[in-house]
Amino acid sequence: MKKILFVAILLNLLPLYGQQIIDTVQTDKGPMIIYSNRTWAFLKDKSFNGVLNSRVHSILNQDLGLNFTQTWSNDVCFTSGKHNDMSKLNDTLWLCVLDEAHATYRAPVDGIVTSRYGYRHGRHHSGIDLDLETGDTVRSCWAGKVRYAKYNDGGFGNLVIVRHYNGLETLYAHLSKLIVAPDQEVKAGDVLGLGGNTGRSYGSHLHFEVRFYDAAINPEEVIDFDKKMCKDENLFVHKGLFRPGAKPSVLEAEEPDPVIEKDTVERQIDVAAHVVQTSLKKYYKVKSGDTLTEIADRNQTTVSKICQLNGIRPTSTLQIGRSLRVK
């Protein structure tokens, strides 16, 4: 009898670190479970697949057929392995960095940029370093869900990774203290932890990264760290962004002419993000029956210029739906 009781108690205590769940409370950061020793954790939604921006995910997978993955893990920095190959991104994806539901950006720290993205001392720096004093608050840039919050022995020290509703992930490294827990929902400006010098770090600073489907981009492509604001409410995602050492594109004030046919534009608005032109480059989506000469004429350019921009020959077969750079 005693043995059965013992087993029953043991099973009851098993759910987490030998603690019994005594309550579940709704918080504005998600459902939280309270254990008998007064510790707590955020409740995991078993059906959650990690996709916070289903529109972007569906465009990448259904429309563009890229088969990119975005899983959820509290234990690894990269969730897709080597699966998401940005060199296959032949289109430009229009990502709303700030949308109506999540329109706020907050600077991660107050400090200035001390080291930029790109090559330094022969190594690629896949983020940006921001100055801080140990103990300074580090905040989430945008709203999202904490994917990772623990010590990382790969060099990041105490590390927080937040996956955002806009489709990006941000990474905050070398923290002295973690304040959030994995699976916690955060708003823009919520404190994630305190700045520090943990891991492979020489002097207190925040190493900050911006990633799209596990691939790092230059944070200055999205954020103006001097003005402490987003550069633009939109980010045009194309494979050039993921080139190691890529410099941020220069946004021009003038509005370029629309290049996409009206019916296509309507369809694109329908799915919220899609193939568009960037400010400096112009793209055209090939339709059935198009010839290079017609495309060149329509965009006031020449066949040889289009060939040069896209690395194709005048005799190349045009794949319907492919985006051709025309400027």
Q: How far is the CB of 286 from Zn ion (least distance, A)?
A: 41
Q: Cβ closer to Zn ion: 96 or 194? A: 194
Residue 119 beta carbon to Zn ion: minimum distance, rounded to whole angstroms: 13
Contact 266, 293 (CB under 8 A): no
Question: Using alpha carbons only, what angle is made at residue 35 by residues 30 and 37, rounded to the nearest 5 degrees?
Answer: 135
| Closest to Zn ion by CB, 116 or 147 | 116
Q: What is the CA 291 to chain-centroid distance, rounded?
A: 37
Is the CB of 202 or the CB of 311 nearer to Zn ion?
Answer: 202
Alpha-carbon gap, residue 249 to 247, rounded angstroms:
6
> Footprint of Zn ion on this chain (CB under 5 A)?
127, 129, 207
What gap in Å lies between CA 35 and CA 30, rounded to an integer?
16
Distance CA 180, CA 157 (A): 15
Closest residue (Cβ) to Zn ion? Answer: 207
Question: What gap in Å lies between CA 185 and CA 12, rounded to an integer?
Answer: 28
Residue 11 tokens, joined: 């099973």
When the beta carbons of 95 and 128 are compared against Zn ion, the nearer one is: 128
Smallest distance, Å, CB 77 to Zn ion?
14
Q: Which two tokens stand for residue 186?
A: 């955060």
Q: How far is the CB of 51 from Zn ion (least distance, A)?
A: 28
Which residue number, 174 or 325, has a Cβ lying nearer to Zn ion?
174
* Helix, strand, or coil (residue 113): strand
Least CB distance to Zn ion at residue 201 (A): 8
